[in-house]
Amino acid sequence: MGRRFIVLLGPPGAGKGTQAARLAQAAGLAHLASGDLFREHLSRGTELGKVAQAYMTRGELVPDDVTTRMIAERLAQPDAATGAVFDGFPRTVAQAEGLDRLLAEHGERVQRAVVIDARREELVRRLTGRWLCRECQTPYHQTSRPPRVPGRCDGCGGELYQRPDDTVEVVERRLAVYEDQTQPLLAWYERAGVLARVDGERDVEAVQRALARAIAS
Ligand code: AP5
Ligand code: MG
Ligand code: ZN
Tens of pLDDT, residues 111-123: 999 999 999 999 9
| Distance (Å) from CA 124 to ligand 1 centroid | 11
- Residue 179, pLDDT > 70, answer yes
Under 8 Å between Cβ of 181 and 91: yes
Catalytic residue numbers? 16, 91, 130, 163, 174
Residue 91 located in a structural domain = yes
pLDDT at site 141: 96
Do the domain assignments include residue 29? yes
Q: How far apart are CA 163 and CA 131, in angstroms?
A: 8
Cβ-contact 212, 23 below 8 angstroms = yes
Q: Whose CA is nearest to atom 23 of ligand 1?
A: 35
Contact of 123 with 15, CB cutoff 8 Å: no
pLDDT for residue 217: 80
How many whole angstroms separate alpha carbon 22 and alpha carbon 140?
14
The mean per-residue pLDDT over the stretch 73-100 comes to: 96
Average pLDDT (30-54) is: 96
Q: How far are the Cα atoms of 10, 22, 43, 149, 192 from residue 141, in angstroms, in the given order?
A: 18, 17, 23, 13, 35
Task: Report the alpha-carbon distance of residue 102 to residue 86 in Å, rounded.
Answer: 14
> For the purposes of burial, counting CB atoms within 10 Å of the CB of 154, is it exposed (0-12), middle (13-18) or buried (19 or more)?
middle
| 142 falls within a domain | no
DSSP conformational letter for 141: E
Express each pLDDT in 122-152 by its tens digit: 999 999 999 999 999 999 999 999 999 999 9
Q: Is residue 133 part of a domain?
A: no
Residue 1 in this model has a pLDDT that exceeds 70: no
For the residues 43-70, what does the mean pLDDT come to? 96
Give the CATH number of the domain where residue 23 resides.
3.40.50.300
Return the ligand number nearest the Cα of 86.
1
Please check whether residue 68 lies inside any domain of the structure.
Answer: yes
C-alpha–C-alpha distance, residues 121 and 195, integer Å: 25
3-state helix, strand, coil in the chain (%, to 5): 50, 20, 35
pLDDT > 70 in the chain, percent: 100
* Host domain of residue 33: 4-119+182-216
Interacting residues of 135 by C-beta distance below 8 A, sequence separation 6+: 153, 156, 157, 158, 159
Q: What is the mean pLDDT of the chain?
A: 96
Q: Does 170 reside within a domain? A: no
Q: Which residues lie with the beta carbon below 6 Å from any ligand 1 atom?
A: 10, 12-18, 34-35, 38, 55-56, 59-62, 67, 88-89, 91, 95, 126-127, 130, 139-141, 144-145, 174, 203-204, 207
pLDDT tens-digit readout, 146-178: 999 999 999 999 999 999 999 999 999 999 999
Determine the average pLDDT of the residues in 3-14. Answer: 97
Mutate to test the pocket of ligand 1, among 19, 36, 37, 38 (most ligand atoms within 8 A of CB): 38
Element (H, E) at 114: strand 112-117
Cβ burial, residue 157 (10 Å; 0-12/13-18/19+): exposed
Q: Structurally, how many domains does the chain consist of?
A: 1
Kindly state whether residue 41 falls inside one of the protein's structural domains: yes
d(CA 154, CA 167): 24
Answer whether residue 125 is part of any domain: no
